Structure 1
């Protein structure tokens, strides 16, 4: 009996540590990212993001076209309040509110952290200067797998997705 109890206790501890580690990173929001990523000398990644459809993703849900698309997809009510729409039009939508730092705004749509992971632990300049250190702190490098979480056949507007074709449209300029 003691061996079983010890095994169950050990398993529980490992499971709790895994869950905690996975949920430890918080979403800081695009406004915090922009503090370092809007200068021309660093590449103005924020300016690049502002010019994309990702920046307008939440806003687009207020359009008559979005209402028609939602209705045709069987979504009732306001698309800006529908979980089926918000899961791809708002970064961090399906996350616990405790993982969204103060200042994070759903109105900012598909933000940096949708592609790069929650930034609470890698946002510091000292961490970002070292790519490996940033990755260890939660930074993710965008891949096709990240994109197809939303750009897939479950989306009512899906017209196919070629990562190699579309990625250059959102790729960020490097700093000088």
Structure 2
């Protein structure tokens, strides 16, 4: 008679073989997961403005327009910017130089053809989608409600939650006019949270 110890390896092998032949579960595909497979595209600040301009919503659009971010591209057209670019060895118009546009325009990587067929413009400067991600997959009310309810993960539709690491991609020593960067202080200047709904109010 074989001992229990000698039977154990055989039982384990049988168990693994049984698992190998269990059919995989059908994937739980949702519209959010379908969206994840798409490529997020920039939609432009006017699209963001549609829902983020009212006092009830937090006046994010107004806060942005009053910030230096909204004028980032514009500043590249000044004589001062031309002098800075020249000192850095950048030839030509700073408003056309990738080295400058990288931190002065959300749309800096878009081609002329892409811009022509988009509502995005260079003139927006550093707009919402620079920090929150391209908005084509999360801009709809349906998606926003699902995000607020915690039904889908923000990353699955390209929505980013920016923090200090996002800011220091541009606010760092590589900038020719870098004055230092106090994240807490600077964030307070541009903070634009969506107010919590009043108690009993419909979300």
Aligned pairs, how many? 156
Write out per-residue CA displacement over residues 32-83 of structure 1, whole angstroms, 9 at most, x where no aligned residue.
Answer: 1001111122111000000100000001111111111111111111111111
For 1:19-168, list aligned pairs within 5 A.
24-95=39-110, 102-129=118-145, 130-131=147-148, 132=150, 133=152, 135=154, 136-168=156-188
Over alpha carbons, which structure has the higher Rg? Answer: 2
Output the CA distance in 2 between the equivalents of 1:117 and 1:126.
Answer: 18
Flag structure 1 segments of 5+ consecutive residues without an equivalent: 1-20
SS in 2 for 1:36: coil
TM-score normalised by the chain length of structure 2: 0.70
TM-score normalised by the chain length of structure 1: 0.80
Output the CA distance in 2 between the equivalents of 1:169 and 1:112.
Answer: 15
What does residue 9 of structure 1 align with? none
1:152 deviation in Å? Answer: 1.0
Contact 2:45 2:120 in 1 (8 A): yes
Structure with the larger RCO, 1 or 2 (CA within 8 Å, 6+ apart)? 1
RMSD (Å), alpha carbons: 2.1
Higher helix share: 1
